[in-house]
Structure 1
Amino acid sequence: MAVALVGIGILAVVAIFVTPIVSDAEPGLWLYLLAMLAPVGFLLAIVFALWSGRRAR
C-alpha cells in the first residue's frame, strides 16, 4: 500500500513537470493533490517498518 502511494505520488510529480512541456495548459489541481501522496506513502512505509521490526530483548 505504501509503495503504491509513493509510486502514484512520484508519477503525479512527473506529470506536473511534463504537462507544460507537452501542452500550453497548466497542471490541474488534482495532480498537485495526487503529488501529496508521495510523502504520505513514505511516512506510512517508515511507520510500518518500525512497527514490524524486531523488538530488543
Structure 2
Amino acid sequence: MTDRRPRGSSALLRVALVLFVAGFIAIAAIFLVPAVGGNEPPLWLYLTAMIAAPLGFVLALVFALFSGRRAR
C-alpha cells in the first residue's frame, strides 16, 4: 500500500509541537518569575503564552484532521 499523506504533514506536526511546548514553557515561566524574582513577568512572555500554545494546539488539530483516513 502507498502512503497517501503529504510530505509536509510530519513537518506540520513538528511545528505544532514546538509551538505548543514553547507556549507551555511560557505559561510555566509566568508563574515562576514572580515566585523566584519577585518581579512581574515581561510582556513578551505573556504574548508568547497567548500566541504559541493556542496556535500549536490548532495546528495539531489541523494535522489530525488532514492525516485521518477518509470513510469509504
User: Could you tell me the TM-score, scaled by structure 2's length?
Assistant: 0.75
Distance apart, 1:52 and its partner CA: 1.3
Structure 1: 5+ residue stretches without partners = none
- Cα root mean square deviation, aligned: 0.7
The structure with more radius of gyration: 2
Please point out which of 30, 38, 60 is paired with 1:24. Answer: 38
Count of residues in Structure 1 that have an aligned counterpart in Structure 2: 57
Structure 1 SS opposite 2:71:
coil
Distance apart, 1:9 and its partner CA: 0.2
Distance apart, 1:39 and its partner CA: 1.1
Q: Percent same amino acid among aligned pairs?
A: 60
Instruction: In structure 1, give the amino acid aligned to 2:57.
Output: F
Instruction: In structure 2, give the amino acid aligned to 1:3.
Output: L
Partner residue in 2 for 1:51:
66
User: Could you tell me the TM-score, scaled by structure 1's length?
Assistant: 0.94
Ranges of 4+ aligned residues in structure 1 off by more than 2 Å: none
